[in-house]
Structure 1
Amino acid sequence: MSTTTASPIDQLWPTDRPALRNLALVLFGTLLLAASAKIQVPFWPVPMTMQTAIVVLIGMAYGWRLGAATVVAYLAEGAMGLPVFTGTPERGLGLAYMVGPTGGYLLGFVAAAAIAGWLVRSGQGLARISAAVVAGIATIFVLGVAWLSVLVGFENAVTHGVLPFLPSEIAKILLAIAAGVAMFRVRAKA
């Protein structure tokens, strides 16, 4: 696969009006993130959403800057009280939800999109895509556990905030790697 600093979206949707295109992409990305938060797939031991996979895919597709900006816009929608997060509005809305137990994971979304986009900026082979996906998702969990540890202690944070999600995260990592490889193959043909 080719190595280039252009993101797949830059190559697939070139434009002389990037601000308008980027606004459309941010809106699409926030809708995709909200949908991925609301759709739950039955999985053991906890139901699975596709959010972490979507976050890293947005980062890789849009590039690190636009990917992170998209996630920031998504968080801003949630901060304004829109029910875009998993479990909203039942578990609360707005900033109160964001500073609760999932706050670190939400913050990790921004870092994950940036890291995933940054790691594939100069190469899109299987190893680079795999590293981007794993590093992005690991970042979400590191920041999530750090935040949750303040609230419930480190051992409880790992027991309740990581271990139940490992099986579904492994599945999402594999799906995101496959989707990332397919995305960059399409881009290479464009």
Structure 2
Amino acid sequence: MSAIDTEGSSIYLYISDPARMKETNMNIVSQLTADGHSCIIITTNIPSSILKKLYEKRGIPQNQIYFIDAITKYSLGTAPINQPNTTFTSNPGNLTELGIAISEALKKRQGDHTALLFDSISTLLIYLSSPNISKFIHFVSNKIRLLDLRAVYLSAEKGLDPLLLTQISSIVDEVVENQKE
């Protein structure tokens, strides 16, 4: 896997083999936390409770992780109680709610070495049109740049239509493809 530049603002699009998305996620979060970053994980693909268990097995420090979970409440109908360091949004397609949750999480971590991981952009296509996703990624990326933070967007290989891939590729600093280790 290509290393993430942990100095200054860098925004990456990781395009992963769908079977390796979880592993790619864990590798990125492991690297970022090892470099002293707090991570805000936006999950539209895997519920935060499952990711938390995977991170614990990997030895990733939980005190450096904050989740914005857009899938659990949608799947269960209600948000689980007693889930520290987690904000639940109603569904992955509610970009207004997701944008507010991201802004609030970033505001709370101002001054920290914070990185945002979005898992996964390709999953958003189930709920939203490509132009809406592109606008949202542009909004989040500009916020990340203005705050001088890092961001990683994950996508399944062949999971984005060509126009959306082109638009997102023009927004990010680097596209890392086909990570097969």
Q: What TM-score do you get using the length of structure 2 for normalisation?
A: 0.30
Pair member with larger Rg: 1
Q: Which has the higher contact order (CA 8 A, sep 6+)?
A: 2
| Structure with the bigger percentage of helix | 1
Q: Which has the higher strand share?
A: 2
